Chain A
Amino acid sequence: MTFKVSAFLTAFFLCTMLAAQPASYAVDLLPATLRSEANAVRRYRHIRYDVRSAESIGMQFTEAITLLNGNARGFTTLVVFYDKQTKIRSLGATVYDAQGKVVKKYKEKDFRDYAAQDGFSLYLDDRVRALEVAAPGLPCTVEFTYETENKGLLAFNTFMAFPTTQFAVEEDVYEVKAPSNYGVRHKSVNGAPEPEKLSDGTLRWTYRNLPGLPDEVLSPPLDVLSPMVLVAPNTIAYDGSTGDISTWENLGKWNWGLLEGRDKLPAATVEKVRQLIAGTTDTREKVCRIYEYMQQRTRYVSIQLGIGGFQPFTAEEVDKTGYGDCKALSNYTRALLKAADIPSSYAVIGAGDERQIRYPDFCSFGQANHVILCVPLKNSDTLWLECTSQRQPCAYQGDFTSSRLALLVDKNGGKLVQTTHYTQLQNKLANTYTFDIKGDGGAVATFHSNGYAVASEDYEALMRYKGAEADDWLALNFPVANAKVLKHNVVGKDSTVAVTRLSAEFTMSRLATAQGQRLFLSMCPLKPLSTPAIGGKRKLPIEISMDKLQTDRFEYNLPAELRVDFTPEDKTLETPFGSYTRTVRKEGNKLVTERSFAIRPGMYPPDQWPALLDFLKKVNAADAEKAILLLGP
């Protein structure tokens, strides 16, 4: 599943000359290939790590970005993290106008000091120095520099060419100098070059003259498209703890060391667990009873302090306070299951759309950001428990952590395993509608929808909304066009199956349009699938990550004075991207449409884009087909 993304990028080459800062940042010196379709261009970046020992590492950073338009406004800000391990030694910024003339210079004291707020943690060690420069007008160039001293590093910054789409790179250099006994591992992916080795042992990687990635829908994420170099140490020294993280196996073993002995529970809780599981011999039943008990007793709070960024609170602590983060809650649940003689594994994972353990052959911290619990059953099923959620049904992962690798932490070494993949048949959205057609072509209707597995998450947000917020959500997301929802009800969390049920009453102003004695009736009155308005040749590969099946049953109650003159022919579409069927039948005095639309996951080369668009347009055309009813005898 590799695509020649490098074929799209202009060729870049290793340069044996010393990496040099350009003489001028004048915007008209930018080659046209870098300027077109870019919101910003990195004129020059130099990152250098000087590893003197595992406990003494210096880092120097310089970056100059030319902002071409308002979309690049995020690049006027620099945020530098520091904590007990990291000290900032210098900070500076310079702003240049379009001609490359210095407009303003900022000093270290212009960078304000804040506590790092990640948006959900209650306590963090991290602090930041931050500065937002004022742009003198567009285009302009902003240059930031800083230096840090680290008492130990967990990871080297990933050398990623593109932080976003529509961002070009002119000259980009990354260097690591380390003693031979320190052990630096590296991996170049997505077309990034291998390093040159300089005479003093420095490893140097260079990107040069890379045009930006266009903004195209359904493309793979940036960490698949952007040339990237991963760099990681073999050993880490952190907050008094040292560890071998040279392989996932060793990382798993080091992480186990942080968990050891932290699973003791008070006697009362152990007794409670025994009571919970009494009366059943089914292991899955026991796991779910314990999981639901844990869900009711605890809530998620994120606290990252020093090694606490990696070491969970003890199970006793969670039992007493009733809160913890993903590490603590997973460890606590593990302790509860242990009290019931059910073995489970603390599992480190990359969660959400943006993070995943992608490289089983390259271990680095940056690939993971979450912890869940893995419970293997004797019948070779595996239950994955999301311990931070109070709502989630037992053993339902959702697409937060499904279909990817997890590292099971174990005292004999970590092991990478694949989490659940929810298939189309599981991710089903089943909708039924009934319509009472009015004389003016409008309709009064009902809607019932059951969303299973990943499809159940579609209605998660609505479950939390009331009043105007719920109305807004429905106006945006209700599947029928021109509908006004009068009332709705949504329930979720069936204890054994992930399913959310939404029911609604709504009216439509124009379900049928009259022309003379004829009434044209929409047989699938859904909002059309959106297709891009701007045509043109696609450059990026296509990635469809959905694996979803939607079934719709539309029942039209026909008044006595209308008779059916014509119903659309059956329609079937079959493509690699998905399939579609639609039939219309008369059932007594009802017209019934049965529709089924399935999307399959896959990666396709850009030349398949017209075929995918054609499929979506054919679905829209089939949905838009009308039946003809006649007024009168």
Chain B
Amino acid sequence: MDLNQTQINGIHSHLTLTLDASGNVVGEGDLTFNDYGAWAKRREIAKAGSEKAFLEAWAGDKSGIELSKSEIAPLDSNDMPLKIHLQGSFNGIVEQAGNLLLVSPWVLDQEKENPFTSATRDYPVEFNYPTVKSSTVKLTIPQGYMVESLPKSLKVRLPDGSARFTCNVGQQGNVITMTSVVTTTRTLYTPEEYADLKSFFQTVVDKELEKIVLKKA
């Protein structure tokens, strides 16, 4: 029996957003969890007591989300993927700076902080399971606005390829499409590999913090 965990924990999100000239953002999206991710989310939902309580807690650190519709299914399952479907307004992702609008697109599952904060590490780093996190955001910008700057596409990986991050940003007309994929295939890293691992996650955090800058045309 192979004790190395090979089953991948997958988190996939798709979000479609439309921004209007007053800074209002309406959107619709899905979050899908596979394998261990699904199991962990179902436990979280059960612990919260109700879907409503779970969603309030989930939205708690994501300012300005107001859901008009939500669906979480299937709850009663041990191995099926879990899908959370959301619809509503996401006004908190837009900040104003004069005639510029700053948009933070990764609202559903942003890596807000580097999990590794110490300068040095004495013990190995152990992840529970390999993970794939992929996020796609499609943002339609309002009439009368143009893109002033977009985050640049980026591809980084650890020297042995066991952790990879790809961020693609493209624009067609007034629709911006962004994807972010973070993959970790190893579950155990030695303390000597810590610095590279920390720097890898910092790159992910920094890239996901970058804003889309829109300017009034």
A residues with a Cβ closer than 8 A to B are 69-71, 510, 513, 515-516, 520, 528, 530-536, 566, 568, 613, 617, 620-621, 624-628
Contacting residues, chain B, for A530 (C-beta < 8 A): 60, 63
- Say which residue of A70, A533, A613, A627 sits within 8 Å of B97 (CB atoms): A627
In the A-B complex, the 4 residue pairs with the smallest Cβ-Cβ separation, listed nearest first, are A533-B59, A626-B97, A566-B98, A528-B63
Say yes or no: A566-B209 contact (C-beta < 8 A), given A533-B65, A617-B91: no
Q: Does B8 belong to the interface (CB within 8 Å)?
A: no
Contacting residues, chain B, for A566 (C-beta < 8 A): 97-98
Q: Does B132 belong to the interface (CB within 8 Å)?
A: no
Interface residues of B in 101-158 (CB under 8 A from A): 102, 149
Q: Does B170 belong to the interface (CB within 8 Å)?
A: no
Q: For chain B, which range describes its interface: under 10, 10 to 19, 20 to 34, or 35 or more residues?
A: 20 to 34
Q: A513-B209, A617-B91, A624-B96 are in contact. List 13 more A-B contacts (CB 8 A).
A: A69-B50, A70-B49, A71-B49, A513-B210, A515-B213, A520-B211, A533-B65, A533-B67, A535-B67, A568-B96, A613-B66, A621-B23, A624-B95
Query: What are 29 A-B contacts with C-beta separation under 8 Å?
Result: A69-B50, A70-B46, A70-B49, A71-B50, A513-B209, A515-B211, A516-B149, A520-B211, A528-B64, A528-B92, A530-B60, A530-B63, A533-B55, A533-B59, A533-B67, A534-B66, A534-B67, A535-B68, A568-B98, A620-B64, A620-B92, A621-B23, A621-B91, A621-B96, A624-B95, A625-B95, A625-B96, A626-B96, A626-B97
Mark each residue of chain B from 54 to 87: 1 if its CB lies under 8 Å from any CB of chain A, else 0.
0110111001111110100000000000000000
Contacting residues, chain B, for A536 (C-beta < 8 A): 68
C-alpha gap A335/B211 in the complex (Å): 68
Report whether over half of chain A's contact residues are helix, strand or loop; otherwise say mixed: mixed
Say yes or no: A626 contacts B102, CB within 8 Å: yes
- Say which residue of B49, B60, B97, B149 sits within 8 Å of A69 (CB atoms): B49
Q: Does B43 belong to the interface (CB within 8 Å)?
A: no
Contacting residues, chain B, for A531 (C-beta < 8 A): 64, 66
Say yes or no: B213 contacts A533, CB within 8 Å: no
C-alpha gap A535/B52 in the complex (Å): 11
C-alpha gap A300/B210 in the complex (Å): 55
C-alpha gap A536/B59 in the complex (Å): 16
C-alpha gap A24/B209 in the complex (Å): 59
Say yes or no: A520-B102 contact (C-beta < 8 A), given A528-B64, A625-B95, A625-B97: yes
C-alpha gap A621/B68 in the complex (Å): 20
Mark each residue of chain B from 15 to 45: 1 if its CB lies under 8 Å from any CB of chain A, else 0.
0000000010000000000000000000000
Say yes or no: A533 contacts B56, CB within 8 Å: yes
C-alpha gap A531/B213 in the complex (Å): 26
Contacting residues, chain A, for B10 (C-beta < 8 A): none
Q: Does B197 belong to the interface (CB within 8 Å)?
A: no
Contacting residues, chain A, for B52 (C-beta < 8 A): 534
CB distance from A462 to the nearest CB of B (A): 22
C-alpha gap A306/B85 in the complex (Å): 59
C-alpha gap A533/B52 in the complex (Å): 9
Say yes or no: A535 contacts B88, CB within 8 Å: yes
Contacting residues, chain B, for A624 (C-beta < 8 A): 95-96
Say yes or no: A510 contacts B209, CB within 8 Å: yes
CB distance from B169 to the nearest CB of A (A): 14
CB distance from A64 to the nearest CB of B (A): 23
Contacting residues, chain A, for B66 (C-beta < 8 A): 531-535, 613
- Say which residue of B23, B60, B88, B149 sits within 8 Å of A515 (CB atoms): B149
C-alpha gap A536/B67 in the complex (Å): 9
Contacting residues, chain A, for B182 (C-beta < 8 A): none
Say yes or no: A620-B63 contact (C-beta < 8 A), given A70-B49, A534-B55: yes
The residue on A at minimum CB distance from B22 is A621
CB distance from B95 to the nearest CB of A (A): 4
Contacting residues, chain A, for B176 (C-beta < 8 A): none
Contacting residues, chain A, for B100 (C-beta < 8 A): 628
Contacting residues, chain B, for A533 (C-beta < 8 A): 55-56, 58-60, 65-67
- Say which residue of A515, A532, A568, A627 sits within 8 Å of B56 (CB atoms): A532
Contacting residues, chain A, for B46 (C-beta < 8 A): 70
The residue on B at minimum CB distance from A521 is B97
C-alpha gap A533/B91 in the complex (Å): 12
C-alpha gap A535/B23 in the complex (Å): 19
C-alpha gap A510/B52 in the complex (Å): 32
C-alpha gap A533/B65 in the complex (Å): 6
CB distance from B46 to the nearest CB of A (A): 8
CB distance from B22 to the nearest CB of A (A): 10
